[in-house]
A and B are shown apart, each in its own frame.
Chain A
Amino acid sequence: EAQVTQNPRYLITVTGKKLTVTCSQNMNHEYMSWYRQDPGLGLRQIYYSMNVEVTDKGDVPEGYKVSRKEKRNFPLILESPSPNQTSLYFCASSFNLYGGKLFFGSGTQLSVL
């Protein structure tokens, strides 16, 4: 089944403890992206990647890192999480950005205490 898989679905952590949210797609998509969704603010792009070893900042990259060492995986890393990073996170992928619809993962609800 074609899908984007995120893990974990729910995560509660404490300020400053490094964490990684994994994202994997099995559709051989070129483009992958991370979004956070907050009430009243909608979906905001954190980072995106057009290809392996190519990543670019979105609108809200501060406090986040990503890597794209292989095509299928695009992990999101929070080196030192803070409470303002409490949010619902989505990973998405697309065959190519122009003319390509996004396939979203199921989301990761992160709470930073």
Chain B
Amino acid sequence: EDKVVQSPLSLVVHEGDTVTLNCSYEVTNFRSLLWYKQEKKAPTFLFMLTSSGIEKKSGRLSSILDKKELSSILNITATQTGDSAIYLCAVEGRDDKIIFGKGTRLHILP
């Protein structure tokens, strides 16, 4: 059965710290891996990683796909309170289905 596992489930750090969120997957016919940030309600898109684009960066956020290890990490440097959110990892696989992990709840202390 296809699955996406995120770790840790919850993380509390101080402002200014660097965090690394993990996502591992077992998905048939992998096509892409996406990261989303969910603050109050709707998830918003952060990155998409594919076989042809295994590393993405935007400001303090960056993400890498390791196709050999079937995993991805999301790094956030110099964290701010506005980074507090649930971070969701999703993988598109067989039958065009998108499977989401349960998310990592990140809380940044001022």
Q: How far is the CA of A26 from the CA of B97 in the complex (A)?
A: 23
Please report the total number of A residues contacting B with Cβ < 8 Å: 24
Within the complex, which residue of A40, A50, A102, A107 is in contact with B98, where a contact is CB–CB below 8 Å? Answer: A102
Q: Are B101 and A97 in contact (CB under 8 A)?
A: no
In the bound complex, do residue B100 and residue A43 qualify as a contact, i.e. CB atoms below 8 Å apart?
yes
Q: Is B34 on the interface with A (CB-CB < 8 A)?
A: yes
| CB within 8 Å of A: which B19-36 residues | 31-32, 34, 36
With a cutoff of 8 Å between Cβ atoms, the chain B residues found around residue A45 in the complex are: 97-100
Q: A102-B43, A104-B42 are in contact. List 7 more A-B contacts (CB 8 A).
A: A33-B98, A42-B88, A45-B99, A48-B96, A97-B96, A97-B98, A101-B45
| Chain B residues numbered 47-106 whose CB sits less than 8 Å from any CB in chain A | 48, 50, 88, 90, 92, 95-103
Is B45's CB under 8 angstroms from A102's CB?
Answer: yes
Which residues of chain B have a CB within 8 Å of any CB of chain A? 31-32, 34, 36, 41-45, 48, 50, 88, 90, 92, 95-103
User: Looking at the complex, which one of B96, B97, B102 makes contact with A41 (CB distance below 8 Å)?
Assistant: B102
**A102 and B34 form a contact (CB under 8 A):** yes
Pairs A-B, 9 closest by C-beta atoms: A42-B102, A43-B100, A104-B42, A101-B45, A107-B41, A97-B96, A42-B100, A104-B43, A106-B42
Once bound together, how far apart are the Cα atoms of A103 and B48, in whole Å? 13
